[in-house]
Amino acid sequence: MKTFYQELQKHHWHDQIASIQKKNEKDVRRALDAEYRGLEEFKALISPAAEPFLEEMAQRSMELTRKRFGRTIQLYIPLYLSNFCTNSCIYCGFSCSNTVERKVLSIEEVDLEVAAIKKMGYDHILLVSGEAPGQVNSVYFEEVLARIRNDFSQLAMEVQPLEQHEYEQLIDCGLSFVCIYQETYNQHNYGSYHPQGPKADFRYRLETPDRLGRARIHKIGLACLLGLEDWRTDSLFTAMHLDYLEKMYWRTRFSVSLPRLRPHDGQFRPRHVVGDRSMVQLICAWRLFSPEVEISISTRESSRFRDNILRLGVTSFSAGSSTKPGGYANPGDELQQFSVDDNRSPKEIADMIRQRGYEPVWKDWDKNIHPPITR
Ligand code: SF4
């Protein structure tokens, strides 16, 4: 069965770096003036040659975003179900090589978290866990989804990759959105960041969006972890992945997240630090490449940065996030999966959004507008 893995084998990492670096001012001008922008235009817009055009890119990105999404920013919150993990990703606080207290929420504890999250105003939720099939697996996810499906308009998950039939069962329990981040598309170096556990299997992870598409999921979220490898090249491969998926699974919606590793994230020091101007360039390039794709920025970013880029092309922000299982009902010291920089409450972030003339939105989509895809 065809998957993105076969597509990826046609492109060599170093050839793509060279091809991005070769883009010049004329290529950027052509990309900006194009009616339809494909992967060649995306390359031009993320290239160093586009840096002097940042102002114009920002203006066009803002206009396109307003046209498609209005003046809205969707807010979302992760509910950490478990911090058990059998992987040892070298950039993550939940790595199995770290000695920390581990916990899986019981159904009663999930109820307490849901009550605390509902009080904040949310009508959709992102369920998150580490990858430990012995503790959390599709049977547990089914139980949680069935328990909370009447509490929220939409249910999303960011957990370990699953099989197509497992996704189908979870979709039947109300799941509509799955985030699965490849972290890096550099197959050669992938193993050095993911030395052990099931996540070390690059291909199985890469083919997860194909399994989701075949299961007819409503929405798929993609990302690379910016800073592991050259951000331009990894973003280009993410764009290739999106382009492929949009053609293969045309009834599914897509989002991209732009998680940025920064020097102060725990012990891990990224080799490729991504500066603020590069982040702005990337947000605008994504919007110009895909007017439809949702763009998400998490609380990893500072409040100053998030306030400044709010109008540029993003469509969703996380707010009030706790990475501790049980952390909303029982706040306190927590082991961080990654460092959170914007610590404002959902209300404070919603107020900031309103002050900038935008509307905070507390749910993803409405079943009356987008009925589930039939199998
Ligand atoms: S990034 Fe995810 S899979 Fe990797 S160690 Fe952290 S929780 Fe586990």
Q: What DSSP letter does each residue of 162-175 carry, written as one string?
A: --HHHHHHHHHTTE
Query: Is the model's pLDDT at 223 over the cut of 80?
Result: yes
Would you say the CB of residue 92 lies under 6 angstroms from ligand 1?
A: yes
Tell whether ligand 1 has an atom less than 6 A from the beta carbon of residue 352. Answer: no
Longest pairwise C-alpha distance within the chain: 60
**How many whole angstroms from 135 Cα to the centroid of ligand 1?**
14
Is residue 95 lining ligand 1, measured as CB closer than 6 Å?
yes
pLDDT, tens digit, for every residue of 12-27?
999 999 999 999 999 9
Ligand 1 pocket test: pick from 85, 88, 98, 201 the residue with the most ligand atoms within 8 Å of its Cβ. Answer: 85
Is any ligand 1 atom within 6 A of the Cβ of residue 130?
A: yes
Residue 13 is predicted with a pLDDT of 97
HSE of 135, CA atoms in CB hemisphere, 13 A: 17
- 299 vs 27, higher pLDDT: 27
CA-nearest residue for atom 7, ligand 1, is 130
Residue 255 has φ and ψ, to the nearest 5°, of -135, 155
Return the residue whose CA atom lies nearest to atom 4 of ligand 1.
89
Q: What is the pLDDT of residue 154?
A: 93
Query: Residue 229 in contact with residue 261, Cβ under 8 Å?
Result: no
Whether ligand 1 lies within 6 angstroms of the CB of 94 is answered as yes
Q: Quick one: average pLDDT of 353-362? A: 96
Q: What is the pLDDT of residue 265?
A: 46
136 pocket-lining for ligand 1 (C-beta < 6 Å): no
Q: Does the Cβ of 128 fall within 6 Å of ligand 1?
A: no
Alpha helix positions (H), the chain = 4-8, 13-21, 25-33, 39-46, 54-69, 107-120, 138-148, 164-172, 187-193, 202-206, 208-214, 231-248, 276-289, 303-309, 346-355
Query: Which ligand 1 atom minimizes the distance to the CA of 194?
Result: 4
266 pLDDT more than 60: no
Distance 195 CA to ligand 1 centre (A): 12
Predicted structure pTM score = 0.95
User: Tens digit of pLDDT for each residue in 179-218?
Assistant: 999 999 999 999 999 999 999 999 999 999 999 999 999 9
Taking the centre of ligand 1 as the mean of its atom positions, its distance from the CA of residue 19, in whole angstroms, is 32
User: 53: which DSSP letter?
Assistant: G
Structure tokens, 364: 């993803």
Check pocket membership of 85 for ligand 1, CB cut-off 6 A. Answer: yes
CA distances from residue 59 to 62, 124, 311, 365 in whole angstroms, order as listed? 5, 31, 10, 27
- 100-154, pLDDT tens digit by residue? 889 999 999 999 999 999 999 999 999 999 999 999 999 999 999 999 999 999 9
pLDDT of residue 336: 60
**Is 338 close to ligand 1, i.e. is its CB under 6 Å away?**
no
* CA geometry: angle 344, 350, 355, nearest 5 deg: 110
Nearest to 235 by CA among 193, 281, 275: 281
Residue 363 pLDDT > 60:
yes
The answer to whether the beta carbons of residues 277 and 54 sit under 8 Å apart is: yes
- Token code pair at residue 4: 């993105």
Q: What's the CA gap between 52 and 28, in Å, rounded?
A: 10
Residue 221 burial by Cβ neighbours in a 10 Å radius (0-12, 13-18, 19+): buried
Please tell me the distance between residue 211's alpha carbon and the centre of ligand 1 in angstroms.
21
For the chain, the average pLDDT equals: 93
Residue bearing the CA closest to ligand 1, atom 2: 130
Q: Is 205 in the pocket of ligand 1 (CB under 6 A)?
A: no
Residue 182 Cβ < 6 Å to ligand 1:
no
Phi, psi of 297 (to 5 degrees): -125, 130
Atom number of ligand 1 nearest to Cα 183: 1
Give me 54's structure tokens: 């940042």
Give the atom of ligand 1 at the shortest distance from the alpha carbon of 129.
Answer: 7
Instruction: State how far the alpha carbon of 356 is from the alpha carbons of 96, 121, 352, 359, in Å.
Output: 42, 20, 6, 9
Ligand 1 midpoint to CA 21 (Å) = 32
Architecture of domain 4-361: Alpha-Beta Barrel (3.20)
How many angstroms is it from 90 CA to the middle of ligand 1?
9
